[in-house]
Structure 1
Amino acid sequence: IEITANILKFQDADGKHLLPKIRDSAGQKGTGKWTAISALEYGVPVTLIGEAVFARCLSSLKDERVQASKKLKGPQKIQFSGDKKSFLEDIRKALYASKIISYTQGFMLLRQAAAEFGWSSTTEHRLMWRGGCIIRSVFLGKIKDAFDRNPGLQNLLLDDFFKSAVEDCQDSWRRAVSTGVQTGIPMPCFTTALSFYDGYRHEMLPANLIQAQRDYFGAHTYELLAKPGHFVHTNWTGHGGSVSSSSYNA
Structure 2
Amino acid sequence: MSKAQIGVYGLGTMGSALALNMADNGFQVAVTNREVDWIAPFIMEAGTLAKNLHPHDALEDFIKGIKTPRVILFMIPSGAPMDMMIDTITPLLDAGDTIIDGGNANFHDTRKRSAQMAKNDLHFVGMGVSGGESGARHGPSMMVGGTNHSWTQLKPILQAISAKFQGDPCVDHLGPDGAGHFVKTVHNGIEYADMQAIAEIYALLRDAGGWPAAKIGDLFEGWNDGALHSYLIEISGKVLQATDPDTGKPVVDLILDQAGQKGTGRWTAIEALKLGQSASAVEAAVGARSWSSEEATREVAQSLLAADTSPTNLPDADDLETALIAARILGHAQGFRVLQAASDEYDWSLDMPRIAEIWRAGCIIRSSLLDDLADALRSDPPQGELILAPAIRTRLETSIGALRRVVTAGISGGIPVPVLSASLAWYDSIRTARGSTNLIQAQRDFFGEHGFKRLDKSGNFHGPWKA
Contact 2:269 2:283 in 1 (8 A): yes
Which consecutive unaligned segments of at least 5 residues does structure 1 have? 239-250
Matched, 1:226 2:456: yes
* Counterpart residue number, 1:248: none
* Counterpart residue number, 2:304: 71
Matched, 1:117 2:117: no
Which portions of structure 1, spanning 4 or more consecutive aligned residues, are displaced by more than 4 angstroms?
Answer: none
- Between 1:58-67 and 1:149-158, the stretch displaced more is 149-158
Distance between the aligned counterparts of 2:464 and 2:310, measured in 1? 51
Contact 2:240 2:250 in 1 (8 A): yes
Distance between the aligned counterparts of 2:318 and 2:408, measured in 1? 15
* Counterpart residue number, 2:242: 10
Q: What amino acid is aligned across from residue 59 of structure 1 in structure 2?
A: S
SS in 2 for 1:142: helix
Distance between the aligned counterparts of 2:356 and 2:309, measured in 1? 46
Distance between the aligned counterparts of 2:451 and 2:440, measured in 1? 11
| Aligned residues between the structures | 233
Change (3 A) 1:126 1:101: same
Match runs of 1:49-68 below 5 Å? 49-68=282-301
SS in 2 for 1:231: coil
SS in 1 for 2:236: helix
SS in 2 for 1:189: helix
Distance between the aligned counterparts of 1:79 and 1:112, measured in 2? 40
1:216-250: CA deviations, max 9, x gaps? 1111111112335x222224132xxxxxxxxxxxx
* Counterpart residue number, 2:433: 203
Contact 2:244 2:250 in 1 (8 A): yes
Structure 2 counterpart of 1:132, from 362, 377, 381: 362
Matched, 1:44 2:277: yes
SS in 1 for 2:399: helix
Contact 2:381 2:389 in 1 (8 A): no
SS in 1 for 2:384: coil
Over the matched positions of the two proteins, sequence identity in percent amounts to 37
Structure 2 counterpart of 1:107, from 336, 348, 366: 336
Structure 1 counterpart of 2:442, from 203, 212, 218: 212
Distance between the aligned counterparts of 2:460 and 2:254, measured in 1? 58
Which consecutive unaligned segments of at least 5 residues does structure 2 have? 1-232
Q: What amino acid is aligned across from residue 192 of structure 1 in structure 2?
A: A
1:151-176: CA deviations, max 9, x gaps? 77611111111101111012211111
* Counterpart residue number, 2:395: 165
1:12-59: CA deviations, max 9, x gaps? 113221111111111100011000000000011210000100111111
Contact 2:381 2:388 in 1 (8 A): no
Structure 2 counterpart of 1:147, from 345, 358, 377: 377
Change (3 A) 1:151 1:114: farther
Which structure's CA Rg is the greater one? 2
Contact 2:243 2:250 in 1 (8 A): yes
Shift of 1:78: 2.0
Distance between the aligned counterparts of 2:379 and 2:360, measured in 1? 20
Contact 2:285 2:419 in 1 (8 A): yes
Matched, 1:26 2:256: no
1:91-127: CA deviations, max 9, x gaps? 1111110100001100011111111122224343232
Q: What amino acid is aligned across from residue 176 of structure 1 in structure 2?
A: V
Contact 2:257 2:292 in 1 (8 A): yes
Distance between the aligned counterparts of 2:291 and 2:285, measured in 1? 10
Change (3 A) 1:76 1:198: closer
Shift of 1:132: 2.9
SS in 2 for 1:70: helix
TM-score (norm 1): 0.87
Contact 1:87 1:176 in 2 (8 A): no
Matched, 1:88 2:317: yes
* Counterpart residue number, 1:242: none
- Between 1:115-124 and 1:54-63, the stretch displaced more is 115-124
Contact 1:147 1:153 in 2 (8 A): no
Shift of 1:147: 2.0
SS in 1 for 2:460: strand
Contact 1:77 1:183 in 2 (8 A): yes
